[in-house]
Amino acid sequence: MYKKKPFFIVFEGVEGCGKSYQSRKLYNKLKLNKIDTILTREPGGTKSSELIRNLILKDYFNKSTKNKFDKYTDTLLYLAARNEHIKNKIKPALIKKKIVICDRFTDSTLAYQVYGKKVDIKFINNIHNKILDGIKPNLVFILKVSIKSSKFRLKKRKSKNRYDNFAQSFYTKAQKSFLKIAKNKKNYYILDSSSDDNALEKKILTIVKKHLKI
């Protein structure tokens, strides 16, 4: 029998890896098992964080380079959204011993801002030390995807955002960064998400059940 406890699960990976799809599938499976679970995302997750998300996305489509946010302004907006998200959604849910499934978290900041845009990691760590409040994922799924599958999925998307429009070289670099972050970490699982069958969602559920001792 499942013993209720706080548990934080994060899905990470580049665009087109299927993390939003897999996080939603896991959420539905746990709800079917009558396990108190919430599904959220970053940037976003709360009303105020979603407003910040829209501001970030709007800036990306600003054609004038002069009017674009500096990379540190951009990073601060992501971190501001995370602060709101942790204080108003993630932490309260964990205190109530809920399972929290999050589509992206701190590793995305490392992969995109630190490795991708060369933002100083000490700058981010200093802010994280203040805002994370000791909260870190119990389980992280890094979904690794082939270029072919990623491109095909992105083409099928009806509405695209800033993340769907980067050059392929950026995604390749970001994926390498995610794999580097996950290396030698016991609570990280690198799973190939290139195939469009249900084998991956079964594998994810099996891993989660093992960690939750269901």
The answer, yes or no, to whether residue 164 has pLDDT greater than 60, is: no
- CA 28 – CA 21 distance, rounded (Å): 11
Q: Say what the pTM is.
A: 0.90
What is the per-residue pLDDT across 28-40, written as a single tens digit (0 to 9) for each?
999 999 999 999 9
- CA 112 – CA 79 distance, rounded (Å): 13
The answer, yes or no, to whether residue 153 has pLDDT greater than 60, is: no
Question: With contact defined as beta carbons under 8 Å apart, do 105 and 178 qualify?
Answer: no
* The CATH classification of domain 7-212, taken from the options 3.90.10.10, 3.40.50.300, 3.30.750.24, 2.60.120.590: 3.40.50.300
C-alpha angle 205/214/5, rounded to 5°?
100
Average pLDDT over residues 176-186: 95
Question: With contact defined as beta carbons under 8 Å apart, do 187 and 139 qualify?
Answer: yes
Residue 3 φ/ψ, nearest 5 degrees = -95, 120
- CA 32 – CA 43 distance, rounded (Å): 27
Q: What is the CA radius of gyration of the chain?
A: 17
Look at the chain and count its residues.
Answer: 214
- Check residue 69 and report its DSSP letter: P
Average pLDDT over residues 188-209: 93
Residue 83's contacts (CB-CB under 8 Å, 6 or more residues apart) are 131
Residue of 18, 22, 42 whose CA lies nearest to 150: 18
What is the per-residue pLDDT across 95-114, written as a single tens digit (0 to 9) for each?
999 999 999 999 999 999 99
The answer, yes or no, to whether residue 148 has pLDDT greater than 80, is: no
* pLDDT value of residue 174: 87
Residue 160's contacts (CB-CB under 8 Å, 6 or more residues apart) are 154
Residue 166's contacts (CB-CB under 8 Å, 6 or more residues apart) are 15
H or E segment at 191?
strand 188-192
Which token pair is 72? 């540190």
